[in-house]
Amino acid sequence: MPIEIEKKYRLPEERIVDVMAALTGHGSEFLGEDEEENTIYAGPALVEKGAVLRVRRTRDRATLTYKRRLDGGGDIKHQVEEETDVSDPAAIQRIILELGLRPVLVYEKRRKTWRTGEAEVMVDVLPFGNYVEIEGTVDAIREAEALLGIADLETEEETYPRITARLGRPEGEVIAARFERK
């Protein structure tokens, strides 16, 4: 299984402009932006493994992702990650429910993504805060961190699902973190 290596930082509102300027000023390649709805499913087998199953929906795509954190510690996270595109999100949801898993969390996210060097940099806006995530090798993450001038930012150890569980609001059977609708 592929291993995802990432580091996540809390991004104060006043630093977003600086991070964006560093990305564009150093010739990073803008890969796009999207709005996501992420549904996290749980069940005994996932809890036993310390894993999550996620269905992510965007405007024109849906993906099914399995993640399991690896032991390691430190501010750079390593986790097993398997991901595949889903052509019919409603069908995959029915399959997941038939397997005995239940949706427990839903969170929305607005994401902008760049490629800088050998790393991907994501600027994420969620209902509960702003974050920068860097994925790549440990060296690529450190290089991107230096390029962006964000070594002083607070590292976020919690996953978005864990933050959602803590800060989200009940919506029926799930806890949700959604943007306010106007």
pLDDT in tens, 14-68: 999 999 999 998 889 999 999 999 999 999 999 999 999 999 999 999 999 999 9
pLDDT in tens, 110-154: 999 999 999 999 999 999 999 999 999 999 999 999 999 999 999
- Measured CA to CA, the distance from residue 173 to residue 101 in angstroms comes to 13
DSSP 64-128: EEEEEEPS--SSSEEEEEEEEE-S-HHHHHHHHHHTT-EEEEEEEEEEEEEEETTEEEEEEEETT
Contact call for residues 37 and 57 (beta carbons, < 8 A): yes
The token pair that represents 171 in the structure block: 């919506």
HSE value, Cβ hemisphere, 13 Å, CA-based, for 101: 22
Helix (H, G, I), strand (E, B) or coil at 21: helix
Please check the confidence at residue 87 and state whether its pLDDT lies above 80.
yes
Are β-strands 3-10 and 77-85 bridged in parallel, bridged antiparallel, or unpaired?
antiparallel
Are β-strands 102-116 and 119-126 bridged in parallel, bridged antiparallel, or unpaired?
antiparallel
- Measured CA to CA, the distance from residue 148 to residue 121 in angstroms comes to 10
Q: In which band, very low, low, confident or very high, does the pLDDT at 73 lie, cut at 50, 70 and 90? A: low
Task: Supply the pTM of this predicted model.
Answer: 0.93
Q: What share of the chain in percent tops pLDDT 70?
A: 99
CATH architecture of 3-177: Beta Barrel (2.40)
Cβ partners under 8 Å of residue 71, min gap 6: none
